[in-house]
Amino acid sequence: MGRQLGVYFTKEDCQNFLDFAKTTGNVVALPWKSPTSDFAPIETVDDKNLGFFLFNRGISSNLVIRHVAQQSYYAIDSLQSSVIEFSGSSIRDRTMFPGRIWAEFTFLIKERTALLPKEPEFSKWYDILANWIKKHSERVVWTDPIQRKESIVGYAGKGAQKFYDSGGRLSINPPRAKQSENLLGRILYHGNEPYAAYLHDIARRRLAGPKERIQLTCQLCGDKFYYGSKNVDHRVRVEDSTIYCPKVCPGCGEKRKLHGGVYPPTHSCGWDVMRSETYRQRDYAPIDKNELLILMRYLGVEPGSPLV
């Protein structure tokens, strides 16, 4: 299984990250491809090499290189090699697009019959680099327009922060023909009030025991669940005080059965999620009035006021 961390890094941010990576061992930065099998290490980051592989010779000798005959160049097999892929951000029309660090921690044996884990030190090295990024960058968050919940989409370096403060925008998706205003992230700076409230809310939900949480009742299927829990079946849409229930068919209101751990997108009544003309919004139901008052007091919201 692989892991990745989204980053918003300018050229200067990439150089700072590379300089740190080299202090963690016998580390070299290798380009995506090379005209020969001898990959010349990258020492200085510029606009042409914002992306590269990090290879720590002190923890592994596992570097698999393959020849791409049609284009006549050599490439590093990142799935089989013990390398960390890094890519900085691109900028277009005053919009910065995310890069990432990514690594795969298993490899396929020659017989292609099983996956084996790569070196334990390789995973620890990845964590060192990821933690450095988190410590020296600011969180970039995106607000779900439906649930009004914030999620971390990446980390912005100092250069990216200057770009953002000067009026630049941060996209949460790779470049496209036209960017949606709904798919833009924002930097949540340390020390400000929204950031403190964000951390407080996360801590409260994680530390609260089941008895201290607010139990809600789904008006469609009758199930009970705790607000803020990692419930895969029910979600609270706070802007209109409703509960989403995937257990009930939006077309006819009958309960649906799980198939392979998910609720099927179609139903015997003819409802089909891919055909909008059959869709009738019956999978959201209002929160019970008494439970809503308890939930609002739990969230510190005055009765009669919107939840958000």
Inform me whether the pLDDT recorded for 308 exceeds 50. Answer: no
Whole-angstrom Cα distance, residue 296 to residue 308? 10
Task: Report the pLDDT averaged over residues 271-293.
Answer: 70
Distances (CA, A) of 117 to 83, 140, 283: 13, 31, 43
Structure-model confidence comparison of residues 51 and 279, the more confident one:
51
Instruction: Return the ∠ at Cα 297 (arms to 295 and 300), rounded to 5°.
Output: 110
| Paired strand residues for 86 | 52, 101
pLDDT, tens digit, 9 for 90 and up, residues 34-62: 988 889 999 999 888 889 999 999 999 99
Range picked from 33-37, 94-98, 270-274 for highest mean pLDDT: 94-98
DSSP 226: E
Backbone angles phi, psi at 107, to 5 degrees: -140, 155
Three-state SS letters, 77-103 = CCCCCCEEEEECCEEECCEEECEEEEE
Q: What percent of the chain has pLDDT over 70?
A: 78
Among 84, 69, 76, smallest CA distance to 31 is for 76
Whole-angstrom Cα distance, residue 148 to residue 240? 11
| Paired strand residues for 296 | none
pLDDT, tens digit, 9 for 90 and up, residues 152-200: 899 999 999 999 999 999 998 877 756 666 788 888 887 776 667 666 6
Which residue has 């998706």 as its token pair?
173
Res 206: pLDDT: 61
Among 62, 163, 148, smallest CA distance to 107 is for 62
Q: What pTM, to 2 d.p., does this model score? A: 0.63
Q: 272: how many CB neighbours lie within 10 A of its CB? A: 14
Whole-angstrom Cα distance, residue 285 to residue 299? 20
Residues 6 or more apart whose Cβ sits within 8 Å of residue 152: 139, 140, 141
Among 13, 42, 16, 12, smallest CA distance to 27 is for 42
DSSP 288: P
Average pLDDT of the chain to the nearest whole number:
82
Distance from the Cα of residue 241 to its chain's centroid: 27
Task: Report the pLDDT averaged over residues 235-249.
Answer: 79
